[in-house]
Amino acid sequence: MDDFSIPGIRLGVAQAGIKYEGRDDLTLIEIAEGSHTAAVFTQNAFRAAPVVVAERHVASQDARYLLINSGNANAGTGQAGMDVCERSCVAVATQTSAQASHVLPFSTGVIGEVLPIAKIEAVLPNAVGDLTATNWNRASRAIMTTDTRPKLRRCAVDFKGQSCEIVGMSKGSGMIQPNMATMLGFIATDAYIPGALLDTMLRCAVNASFNRITVDGDTSTNDAVTLTATGQSDFRISTLSSNEAIAFQSALTEIATALAQDIVRDGEGATKFVEITVLGAASEVEADQVARTVAHSPLVKTALFASDPNWGRILAAVGRAGVEALDVDAVSLVINDVLIAEKGARAPSYTEEAGQAAMAPDDLVITIDLARGDAGVTLWTTDFSYDYVKINAEYRT
């Protein structure tokens, strides 16, 4: 990858040996004074200590540092976990000119074990000494857990002579479900965006991207996505209705979607990238309900892994999605442009050979038309393979 950078952002990486020796597992992101940061967090009620602390800190004042560790989630750790999380913020403050409340902590890894804070404190000076604007590549690897590859994206926004850059990285591979998953995302731009507008724009982008992915239907305890605007370019946004804001929102949503899809493509043991679109719903909520039911069905997902056009499993999932007064005789199903079913039954034109050919590619598009309205949604998911079971069965060993 090329060297990525955003004026006003520096990143430092260190090896704390939190879970494994000899690998990068601690990242410190320094944010220039005058920047604004917005964040969204998991909707899981069983929230990890860093989520609680980061949400409190980001609400009180603009962040100066993001501290990210992999290998330990510091979730399900009670008051001891809260204490070491606060202590990690104090450690950053001690090494820098910031206050502890200027630090947002993030953790990912095994649940139920208190973060080994002494290991972090010992190497934090190394992370501070490593701070550089072009460290995005190394940082994107340091935040990985079961990921097999880093997830790093960038794009430029140009509008009437004004320009800015957006760079983002994310991690996630399993325990992935809409409404944020066991994933972390960190996005930065050199555009000037006031804090209130930044929060609105981040939530809009997240709803269209990270909240539209699912690997296994599990929502994690540690999820978070941040967006930092350093204001060090000439690209300025003052209102959400401005043309500059519209151009930036489009680019932000595009990069968030790319990062979210990168997570799905790297899903634990995944062999298929699956786009599920539900059309003709009475409401977006109804369409989302159907799409999620299909995406979370183990029977559907194992059929996808086998490249088996077992369309009955998909229709069965649609039927149990809880759609009120569903007319099954109006439902149709298309996979990769092959009409599989219509009017609630196998299409007269369908052949098993055509179905198998449609299921063979690594990328699948499943389109379900409920024929009861004008609403629709799209989300992205994976199949279930033998490796998914193996990875998660051996996760703590």
Q: Is the pLDDT of residue 45 over 70?
A: yes
Report pLDDT for 147: 87
Report pLDDT for 174: 55
CB 266 within 8 A of CB 173: yes
Least confident of 119-133, 176-190, 255-269: 176-190
Report pLDDT for 222: 85
Q: Report how far residue 30's alpha carbon sits from residue 128's, in angstroms, rounded to the nearest whole number.
A: 9
The count of residues in the chain is 397
- How does DSSP classify residue 343? T
pLDDT-derived band at 179, boundaries 50, 70, 90: very low
391-396: long-range contacts (C-beta < 8 A, 24 or more apart)?
391/146, 391/174, 391/268, 391/269, 392/174, 392/268, 395/110, 395/146, 396/110
pLDDT-derived band at 111, boundaries 50, 70, 90: confident
Average pLDDT of span 51-75: 93
Per CATH, domain 273-393 is 3.40.190.10: no
Q: Is the pLDDT of residue 9 over 50?
A: yes
Least confident of 60-64, 150-154, 182-186, 383-387: 383-387
Looking at the chain, the domain(s) classified CATH 3.60.70.12 span 9-265
Average pLDDT of span 280-290: 96
DSSP letters along 21-45, please?
TTS--EEEEEE-TT-EEEEEE---S
Q: Which helix (H) or strand (E) holds 99?
A: none
Average pLDDT of span 116-135: 98
pLDDT-derived band at 109, boundaries 50, 70, 90: confident
Average pLDDT of span 307-327: 93
CA 281 to chain centre: 26
Q: Report how far residue 41's alpha carbon sits from residue 18's, in angstroms, rounded to the nearest whole number.
A: 23
- Catalytic one of 37, 42, 108, 182: 182
Report pLDDT for 46: 82
Average pLDDT of span 241-260: 96
pTM, whole model, 2 decimals?
0.90
Q: Is the pLDDT of residue 176 over 60?
A: no
Report pLDDT for 396: 56
Average pLDDT of span 16-43: 95
Give me the architecture of the 9-265 domain, per CATH: 4-Layer Sandwich (3.60)
Residue found under tokens 């929502």: 219
Report pLDDT for 318: 96
Query: What mean pLDDT value characterizes the chain?
Result: 91
Looking at the chain, the domain(s) classified CATH 3.10.20.340 span 273-393
Give yes or no: 134 in active site: no
Task: Provide, rounded to the nearest whole percent, the portion of the chain with pLDDT above 70.
Answer: 93
Report pLDDT for 34: 95
Report pLDDT for 181: 42
pLDDT-derived band at 178, boundaries 50, 70, 90: very low
Task: Provide, rounded to the nearest whole percent, the portion of the chain with pLDDT above 90.
Answer: 78
Report pLDDT for 386: 76
